[in-house]
Structure 1
Amino acid sequence: MNPVFPINAPRPAKILVVFGTRPEAIKLFPVIGALAATDGLTVRTCVTAQHRGLLDQVLEIAGLVPDRDLDIMEPDQTLDRLTARLLTGLGAVMDAEKPDRVIVQGDTATAMAGALAAYYRKIPVAHVEAGLRSGDIYHPWPEEVNRRIVAPIADQHFAPTDTAADALRRETIDPATIHVTGNTVIDALHWTRDRIADDPTLAAGLDAIAERFAGRRIVLVTTHRRENFGGGMAAIARAIGRIADRDDIAIVFPVHPNPNVVAVMDAILADRPNVARIAPLDYPHFVRALGMAHLVLTDSGGVQEEAPALGKPVLVMRETTERPEGIVAGTARLVGTDEDRIVSEVFTLLDDNAAYSAMARAHNPFGDGHAAARIARIVANGFGH
């Protein structure tokens, strides 16, 4: 039976939130919670499971049970096949759900296909973490183009920083549709850190590593970018090996399950007593690992935002970044994938206290932990609520 609404009372607007990867889930669960707590909105969620296992870890800790699950992941899936399956699958979900607005996040194939499927149905699109640009369509690849496809479709752009908002304005996006909100990953980080403080068992899986490496400074490593596959990944592995030659440090390395990462690291790093190559961490354990780290070596996007919130310097193993705010603020530094450069920059932070302090104490430009509430308020206001 259809619900009966009082005369002249606005019908709740249905919001469909679409996501498929671990980073999207981390950055959207605070938004989903804020939307659900907002009068006048009904929230539905659809996961594509573009990254099945890593996604499910976040759903569990956030207590999210998706309303729709496309379970789209396949081994070694090509980008064109993935995109085709996402577009048709998400289109079918939108036909069934008939949402009043679709929300996508970031730069994944899921975000791009979700925006395009909504556009084909003339459903308004909101883009969380809008406006990030590197200026190079192949770095990061394919994420840079995914973002650019979403931008002209969306009519609500939630830019995390003024820099991101300026990038959208330069692309002639209507300034009235651009809202600087901060990045929702800071909301997720604060929420998770508080959960761990209340219940340490949520991240107790790192107790053995903390004990094993007590008294050593920890370098946290993450790497998985497609553009680094091949020679870049091999150079990163060799650099990690040289860093691990020092007996005053330890390396904690959650290894991404992609064979292009695992095979290279297995071949070059082998068994190092001060290198903990571990399975990918769920979000509470990753937040704890960030807290344990002295510095972070990464090619990830989100880590460039999370680590500065905990005062951890970030060395970015990429040639460009779509998060230049961290570079400008001094919380992050681009080091590329040159083996010697990576080693030199890590050793500088390990051996030069002034250089380390300058990065660790720099202001984090990515938000204050209240981005999700701002987004929910703007979405509701768009329906007159």
Structure 2
Amino acid sequence: MPEVHLAGGTCAEALRLAPVAIAMRAQGLVTPVLIAASPEPTAVARTWIACGLAADITLPASAGHSAAIRRYDQLWAARTPAAVVVRGDNLGAALAAYWRRVPIMHMDAGRRSGSLVADDADADRRLLAQVATVHLAAAPLAAMNLLDERVVPGDVLLTGGTAVEGTRLMAGRTKRPAKPRANRVVVAGAGAANEPVRAAMLAIAAQHHDLDVIGGLSMPYPERSRLIAVADVVVTDDVDLAEEALAAGTAVLVPGEGGGLTEAIHAGSARPVDAEAGEIVAAMAELLESRVRRDSLGLGGSPYGDGLAAVRIAQATAALLGHGQFPDPMPARPEAGVAHF
């Protein structure tokens, strides 16, 4: 069967690629090959181990695009795949595949921050859209972004994202603690709003002595997944962390512009708040004091997938290589408040 290489550059990417590899194996039309390629490939490989998988290839590379392109090119010169699956802003793997004339399946395509201030990740995602063969969008708004950027409509497929399946997979393989935590939990992780979030977390911890405040971006899986699942609230403007919290049914508070989480905010699954310490403290206190308000967010679910994205991506990859038909797109969610296309 043709080899399809799944390029995992971060632990978050590894979590989302794992269900795709499992779906490909179940369909039996292609052979998935997991590549752990990052400055810390061992961490990526351990994420797959936590999912019950093993990395087929370990490819240490620095964080720069040039080094990543060189390592992927060396690999694919000797072992050329039939297709490559990349996720998010993994531009190094995509460019190496493009120059080798290998078809590129781009998961989570079309996500844009919406910020007027350009950031490297957004620029990489836009560049990746220029070389991808099939654009696998996680939500209708992401697909609309691609169409607005003049991507050929027939190359865009609304599959949903695999954070839902990845979170479920990790939860099913993670041992639960013998006894519940004594304190309530808040998981915090932020990029642009880092300083206000840090100040707010210190203030809220001082007000609530039964509260553990934990940084969610600095820990490996499955510890990260376990804490997200038991948290009362996740405070973050990081899309990956927010997606995993939404999939786990945990309330999400988004400081700042929240451009990367527009669908979740419109759907009522996540709540935006100004990126000021006082505003964050007030919103946090309101959620912590009201189980009803927390549950109303958590019950909204995730607008980024319906639990079938991995199957669609596996089927689309096989169809691109001449095996079967492309899948039907994920049904859009009218209640999510995003436009149809």
In the TM superposition, what whole-angstrom CA distance separates every residue of 1:218-248 from its partner, at most 9, and x where no partner exists? Answer: 222224x3xx3xxx53332221110001235
Change (3 A) 1:121 1:281: closer
Give SS of 1:126's match.
strand
Alignment counterpart, residue 241 of structure 1, candidates 167, 183, 202: 202
1:144 correspondence with 2:122: yes
Are positions 1:160 and 2:99 aligned together? no
Q: How does the TM-score come out when normalised to structure 1? A: 0.77
- Note if 1:358 corresponds to 2:296: yes
Contact 1:304 1:326 in 2 (8 A): no
| 1:304 paired residue number | 242
CA distance in 1, matches of 2:292, 2:50: 38
**Structure-to-structure mapping, 1:1-385, within 5 angstroms:** 12-52=1-41, 54-73=43-62, 82-107=64-89, 111-136=90-115, 138=117, 141-196=119-174, 200=175, 203-204=176-177, 210-213=180-183, 217-223=184-190, 225=191, 228=192, 232-247=193-208, 249-254=210-215, 256=217, 280-283=219-222, 285-352=223-290, 355-385=293-323
- What is the one-letter code of the residue matched to 1:349? L
Kept after mapping to 2: 8 A contact 1:102/1:118: yes
2:36–2:55 CA contact under 8 A, matched in 1: yes
Counterpart-to-counterpart distance in 1, 2:96 and 2:306: 32
The one-letter code of the counterpart of 2:140 is D
Query: What per-residue deviation string (whole Å, max 9, x for no partner) do you get for residues 47-72 of structure 1?
Result: 21234454233022123332322212
- 3-state SS of the aligned residue for 1:302? helix
Q: Secondary structure at the match of 2:260?
A: coil
Structure 2 match to 1:270: none
Distance (whole Å) between structure 2 residues aligned to residue 132 and residue 221 of structure 1: 22
Which one has a bigger Cα radius of gyration? 1
Report Cα offsets for 1:156-206 as digits up to 9, x if no partner: 11111111111111111111111111211101112222223xxx2xx54xx
- Secondary structure class of the residue paired with 1:152: helix
Q: Give, as a single letter, the amino acid of the residue that structure 1 aligns with 2:110.
A: G
Runs of 5+ consecutive residues of structure 1 not aligned to the other structure: 1-11, 258-279
Look up the SS of the partner of 1:212 in the other structure: coil
Q: CA deviation at 1:145?
A: 1.0
Aligned counterparts of 2:314 and 2:81: Cα–Cα separation in 1: 16
Cα distance change of structure 1 residues 219 and 177 upon mapping to structure 2, 3 Å threshold: same
**Partners of 1:254 and 1:234 in 2: how far apart?**
13
Task: Name the SS for the 2:115 alignment partner.
Answer: coil
Unpaired stretches in structure 2, ≥5 consecutive residues: 324-341
Distance in 1 between the 2:77 and 2:285 partners?
Answer: 55
Q: Cα offset for 1:31?
A: 0.6
Rounded to whole Å, the distance in 2 between the matches of 1:66 and 1:350 is 40
Q: CA RMSD in A?
A: 2.3
State the alpha-carbon separation in 1 of the partners of residues 256 and 40 from structure 2.
Answer: 22
Cα distance in 2 for residues equivalent to 1:256 and 1:371? 24
1:137–1:144 Cα contact (<8 Å) kept: no
d(CA) in 1 for partners of 2:72, 2:315: 26
Q: Aligned partners of 1:47, 1:212: CA distance in 2, in Å? A: 37
Query: How much does 1:154 deviate?
Result: 0.9
Identity percentage over the alignment? 28
CA distance in 2, matches of 1:150, 1:351: 44
- Deviation of 1:16 after TM superposition, in Å, equals 1.5
The Cα offsets for residues 312-356 of structure 1, whole Å up to 9 and x where unpaired, read as 221123433323110100111233532112112111212355543
Superposed CA deviations along residues 250-299 of structure 1, whole A, max 9, x for unmatched, are 12414655xxxxxxxxxxxxxxxxxxxxxx1422x323212211111123
Distance 1:31 1:255 in 2: 24
Q: The residue matched to 1:32 in structure 2 has which SS? A: helix
**1:221/1:251 contact within 8 Å kept:** no
Residue identity in the other structure for 1:212: A
Q: What amino acid is the match of 2:92?
A: A
